[in-house]
């Protein structure tokens, strides 16, 4: 299961997230799935998929038996649900970690512990690490440990659903610093990630405040 495109992983990741965090609105219509894929919080990179792209990608995922279409007399439009987790026989904790990697890219165990808690309540950071190790240690690995970047304390992990990720290095092998353009792009990505985290905190705070009113 390492031949999925970026678009396919984003769609599956979005379906998993909505199934676990807002089950009352799941399965998703095509429009709801588009909004889930394109949302600015909990996503890296942020994308702008149109319905035509999503529709074509869903058809490919249906052919791979990873997404199913749901219809009924009480539905005005078809809805979609993921069967990816069933196909790979993922546990709830594995599902949460892999979903975060699919939606946000490479992350440290600490980041996964914080962010995946919306979908599974981990007892400790060690449980997160054990879960990652299970994904890495499968006969057909679903995740990989990336080389630790200079100046960082923790290694990051990435999913392998689209093959091995390209490594982002601070300097190239000859020791020549990366260009200003690359540095700016990297900083922009970090700023966008911080903005997304802030939006998530604001949303959680508003939900908490509404419960007190």
Q: How many other C-beta atoms can be found within 10 angstroms of the C-beta atom of residue 166?
A: 7
**Is 0.85 surpassed by the pTM of this model?**
no
Residue 59 near residue 46 (C-beta atoms within 8 A) = no
Element (H, E) at 111: helix 109-115
* Cα distances (Å, whole numbers) of residue 115 to 10, 71, 103, 201: 17, 32, 11, 11
Spatial neighbors of 8 by CB under 8 A, at least 6 apart, are 57, 60, 61, 66, 162
Q: Which fold has domain 6-87?
A: Arc Repressor Mutant, subunit A (1.10.10)
CB-neighbour burial class of residue 12 (10 A; exposed 0-12, middle 13-18, buried 19+): buried
Residue 67 near residue 11 (C-beta atoms within 8 A) = yes
CA 185-189-195 angle, 5° bins:
140
Residue 178 near residue 170 (C-beta atoms within 8 A) = yes
How do beta strands 143-145 and 67-70 pair? unpaired
Domain coordinates in residue numbering, the chain:
6-87, 175-213
Return the sign of the alpha-carbon dihedral for residues 200, 155, 13, 186.
Answer: positive
The pLDDT of residue 173: 41
Residue 1 near residue 9 (C-beta atoms within 8 A) = no
Q: What is the pLDDT along the chain (213 residues), one digit of tens a residue?
A: 679 999 999 999 999 999 999 999 999 999 999 999 999 999 999 999 999 999 999 999 999 999 999 998 788 899 999 999 999 999 999 999 999 999 999 999 999 999 999 999 999 999 999 999 999 999 999 999 999 888 888 899 999 999 988 764 444 443 334 444 445 655 766 777 787 778 878 877 777 777 776
């Amino acid at each position: 299961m390492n031949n999925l495109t970026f678009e396919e992983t984003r769609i599956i990741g979005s379906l998993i997230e909505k199934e676990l965090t807002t089950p009352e609105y799941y399965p998703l219509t095509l429009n709801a799935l588009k909004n889930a894929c394109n949302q600015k919080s909990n996503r890296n990179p942020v994308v702008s998929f149109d319905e035509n792209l999503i529709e074509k990608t869903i058809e490919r995922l249906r052919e791979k038996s990873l997404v199913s279409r749901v219809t009924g007399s009480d539905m005005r439009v078809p809805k979609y649900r993921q069967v990816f987790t069933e196909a790979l026989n993922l546990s709830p904790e594995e599902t949460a970690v892999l979903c975060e990697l699919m939606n946000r890219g490479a992350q440290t165990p600490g980041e996964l512990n914080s962010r995946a808690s919306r979908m599974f309540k981990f007892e400790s950071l060690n449980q997160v690490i054990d879960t990652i190790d299970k994904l890495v240690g499968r006969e057909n690995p679903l995740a990989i440990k990336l080389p630790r970047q200079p100046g960082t304390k923790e290694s990051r992990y990435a999913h392998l659903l689209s093959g091995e990720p390209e490594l982002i290095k601070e300097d190239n092998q000859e020791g020549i610093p990366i260009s200003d353009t690359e540095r700016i792009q990297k900083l922009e990505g970090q700023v966008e990630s911080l903005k997304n985290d802030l939006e998530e905190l604001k949303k959680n705070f508003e939900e908490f405040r509404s419960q007190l009113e």
